[in-house]
Amino acid sequence: MKIALISVYNKQGIVEFAKELVGLGFKIFASGGTAKELSAAGIEVTDVASLVGGGAILGHRVVTLSREVHAGLLARDNSEDRAELEKLKIPFIDLVCVDLYPLTDEVSKAGSTLESVIEKTDIGGPTMLRSAAKGRRIIVSDAEDRPKVIDWLKSGQSDKESFISKYCAKAEFIVSNYALVSARYLSLGNIDGVVAREVSSLKYGENAWQVPAGLFKNEIVDKLSLANFKLITGTTPSYNNLADVDRLLQTITHIAAAYDVNFSQAPKIAIGVKHGNPCGAAVSDDPALAIQKMLEGDLRAIFGGLVMVNFSVDEKLAEVLLTHKMEAGRRLLDGIIAPSFTPEAIEMLKRKGDKCRFLVNEALESLDKNSLDSHKRFRYVRGGLLVQPNYTFVPDMVGAPPDQKRSDMLLAWSIGSTSNSNTVTIVKDGQLLGNGVGQQDRVSCCQLAIKRATDANHSTKGAVAYSDSFFPFVDGVEVLANAGISAIFATSGSVRDEEIKNYCKEKNINLFMVPDSEGRGFFGH
């Protein structure tokens, strides 16, 4: 008879799973609480305590941590080990279904203490999972996998070695994450890291010779995680595509948060990106107008770019994406990301060879101030990691400039603070005109932003500008003033702040500043 050991914290659905195992000929062993749950449901179950000569001890701290349980998990499936188990009257355990105490929930709970975290730190569960993995047992460490394991058992256990390896690896992954949560908490953040699993393999990385490459997902629950964007048609996104999607998410969520904080709701948003930085972006109450203004931001640069919107794309909007301001032919895009598409829109927007990727995530339709990514950001550096909090500052400009100027300042801030620093960004009437990114001095940022605007046939007169840090000299502000900029959003912190304020007052430029220590917008440095 096959033996299954079940010990779960979350009992939801465990009765049905155990019944399926019994129907497949398994004898069930279970730990105290799980044993009671199964017994109450009429399932014949043996308390695992019977293996170890007694019940739980030390206030339930020690239940499954015994020689007998782990011998049943670690014994090799050969005649010698089985004979020794039989002599010791220890069953060979074939299947383990174990989940862990909710340590992450306790650590993040308001009012949690060292004592409460320790009480929610599982030791027996992770130990059983690791023993079962080493023993090459069938492991169910995630409730979502229970139906898959039952189906596999019923269908003849094909590809047994690869199946077992898959779920042993998943158990080790879960235990690794669990241990990292504990280490991070106990070290007060002095220990950190990332444990992730591949959810999508990629043809190559940034360049064709960088193989293998893949998208890996950690255990953070986030509706806007890249792994939650579904490819509905088109070729698999490339490494560069996904890097751009991540940057688009930073920009669109910052726009939504800024407008939610300052105007109580997010507008319709359209963003076009090339090499991580927005080349077109616009907001409007009308989705078609948002797309038109986004495209007009830089009709040249958007060619071959990625577009993200926070509204559904139908055939009318598809026509705008394809033909607006096109003298001939169709506009080619590498990808479009939206909450949803109509089938007609997809047919219209498809490219030869499926080179346009269509990614959907319905969470894009309800972006607000809570949509910002609040988790730590990690960056590989030689020999280790740089770790920092995420970009979650949102300016509160209520009562500041008139609504349209304030709206434009917020849009410029959202774009500039999620573009490669140093950046100066120019916006007018809800439309990005020029994004001067990645420069080594502030004057060059201003000059590049103006050049990109004028190259795209925009007038900068009356526009607003955002600088991702303070102006160290008046020269950058002079460049903007000469281009007709009427309002500037920047940080304070320069020894020449007063000089810059006086210059803006003299030129009738509306200047809004926040302290550099609070609002500096360096990104992707």
Q: Are 344 and 318 in contact (CB under 8 A)?
A: yes
Q: Coil, helix or strand for 204?
A: coil
State the Cα–Cα distance between residues 437 and 445, nearest whole angstrom.
6
Using one digit for the tens of pLDDT, what is the confidence trace for 334-366? 999 999 999 999 999 999 989 999 999 999 999
State the Cα–Cα distance between residues 321 and 464, nearest whole angstrom.
26
Asked if pLDDT for residue 382 goes beyond 90, the answer is yes
Q: Which stretches of 107-263 are assigned E, i.e. beta strand?
A: 138-140, 197-202, 213-217, 230-233
Fold for the domain defined by 2-186: Rossmann fold (3.40.50)
State the Cα–Cα distance between residues 517 and 195, nearest whole angstrom.
32
Secondary structure tally for the chain: helices H, strands E: 19, 20
Mode of pairing for the β-strands spanning 268-274 and 277-284: antiparallel
Distance between first and last Cα of the chain: 61
Asked if pLDDT for residue 63 goes beyond 80, the answer is no
Asked if pLDDT for residue 220 goes beyond 90, the answer is no
Closest by alpha carbon to 485, among 449, 468, 501, 461?
Answer: 461
Residues facing 467 on adjacent strands: 424
Using one digit for the tens of pLDDT, what is the confidence trace for 4-38? 999 999 899 999 999 999 999 999 999 888 999 99
State the Cα–Cα distance between residues 323 and 109, nearest whole angstrom.
51
Range 302-329 average pLDDT:
96
Please report how the helices 475-482 and 442-455 are oriented relative to each other, as an axis angle in degrees rounded to 10: 20
Query: pTM of this prediction?
Result: 0.91
- How does residue 65 score in pLDDT terms, banded at 50, 70 and 90? confident
Using one digit for the tens of pLDDT, what is the confidence trace for 269-283? 999 999 999 999 999
Asked if pLDDT for residue 3 goes beyond 80, the answer is yes
Asked if pLDDT for residue 307 goes beyond 80, the answer is yes
For the chain, percent of residues with pLDDT exceeding 90: 91
Closest by alpha carbon to 5, among 147, 137, 177?
Answer: 137
Asked if pLDDT for residue 370 goes beyond 90, the answer is yes
Q: What is the model's pLDDT at position 400?
A: 72
Residues facing 101 on adjacent strands: none
- How does residue 58 score in pLDDT terms, banded at 50, 70 and 90? confident
The dihedral sign for the CA sequence 151, 152, 158, 159: positive
Residue 422: is the preceding peptide bond cis (ω within 30°)? yes
Of 56-65, 138-147, 305-314, least confident by mean pLDDT is: 56-65
Q: Which CATH superfamily is domain 397-519 in?
A: AICAR transformylase, duplication domain (3.40.140.20)
Instruction: List, by residue range, all CATH 3.40.140.20 domains of the chain.
Output: 233-384, 397-519
Q: What is the model's pLDDT at position 317?
A: 98
Please report how the helices 14-23 and 32-40 are oriented relative to each other, as an axis angle in degrees rounded to 10: 70
Range 138-165 average pLDDT:
96
Using one digit for the tens of pLDDT, what is the confidence trace for 432-479? 999 999 999 999 999 999 999 999 999 999 999 999 999 999 999 999
Mean pLDDT of the chain: 95
* Cβ neighbours, 10 Å, residue 200: 15
Instruction: Name the token pair of 424.
Output: 């100066």
Please name the residues in contact with 173: beta carbons below 8 A apart, sequence gap of 6 or more: 195, 197
More confident residue, 248 or 218: 248
Please name the residues in contact with 78: beta carbons below 8 A apart, sequence gap of 6 or more: none
Q: Are 282 and 430 in contact (CB under 8 A)?
A: yes
Asked if pLDDT for residue 53 goes beyond 90, the answer is no
- SS3 letters for 87-133? HHCCCCCCEEEECCCCHHHHHHCCCCCHHHHHHCCCCHHHHHHHHHH
* Residue 362 per-residue DSSP state: G
Instruction: List, by residue range, all CATH 3.40.50.1380 domains of the chain.
Output: 2-186
Q: Which amino acid appears at position 17 of this protein?
A: F
State the Cα–Cα distance between residues 490 and 425, nearest whole angstrom.
11
- How does residue 259 score in pLDDT terms, banded at 50, 70 and 90? very high
For the chain, percent of residues with pLDDT exceeding 70: 99
- How does residue 98 score in pLDDT terms, banded at 50, 70 and 90? very high
Asked if pLDDT for residue 302 goes beyond 90, the answer is yes
Fold for the domain defined by 233-384: Cytidine Deaminase; domain 2 (3.40.140)
Asked if pLDDT for residue 401 goes beyond 90, the answer is no
Q: What is the model's pLDDT at position 371?
A: 97
Q: What is the model's pLDDT at position 44?
A: 95
